[in-house]
Amino acid sequence: MNERALRTEVLATLNDIAPEVDGDELIDDQPLRNQVDLDSMDWLNFLIGLHRKLGVEIPESDYAQLTTLARVLEYLKARLP
């Protein structure tokens, strides 16, 4: 999966949780949860969605790393099966 396809998948997963988000308006290196209104249930569902679509295991201890869209993409890219 190339970077563009990965980004599309991540944004589609985010849109499942927050349909109002326009992926083109997100700033990659700004904290995601400052740009999108996600509570902890939304956040968990977002990560579950990524896990189901991409087959990546995301331990809870790694949540703190996943602050920005750029970091989420980087994290997933390194762990794609």
Partner 1 sequence: MLEFKLPSLGADMDEGTLLDWKVKPGDTVGKGQIVAIVDTSKAAVDVEIWFDGVVEELKVPPGERIPVGAVLATLRELGAESPPPPVPPRTSALPPRISPAARKRALELEVDPLGVTGTGPGGAITLADIEQAAVQAAAQMPPPSPPAVHAPAPVKTDRQAEMRKAIAAAMSLSKREIPHYYLAETIPMARAQAWLTAANTGRPITERLLMAVLQLKAVAMALRQYPELNGHYRDGSFQPAPAAHLGVAISLRQGGLVAPALHDVGDKTLETLMGELTDLVKRTRAGSLKSSELTDATITVTNLGEQGVEVVHGVIYPPQVALVGFGRISERAWVENGALSLIPAVIVSLAADHRVSDGHRGALFLTELRRWLQQPENL
Query: Where does this chain bind partner 1 (CB under 8 A)?
Result: 18-20, 37, 39-41, 44-45, 47-48, 51, 57-61
Q: From the CB of 44, what's the least distance to partner 1, in Å?
A: 6
Nearer to partner 1, 3 or 62 (CB): 62
Query: What is the helix, strand, coil percentage profile of the chain, to 5?
Result: 65, 0, 30
Nearer to partner 1, 24 or 60 (CB): 60
Rg (Cα) of the chain, in Å, rounded?
11
Q: Is 2 exposed, middle or buried (0-12, 13-18, 19+ CB in 10 A)?
A: exposed
Nearer to partner 1, 35 or 45 (CB): 45
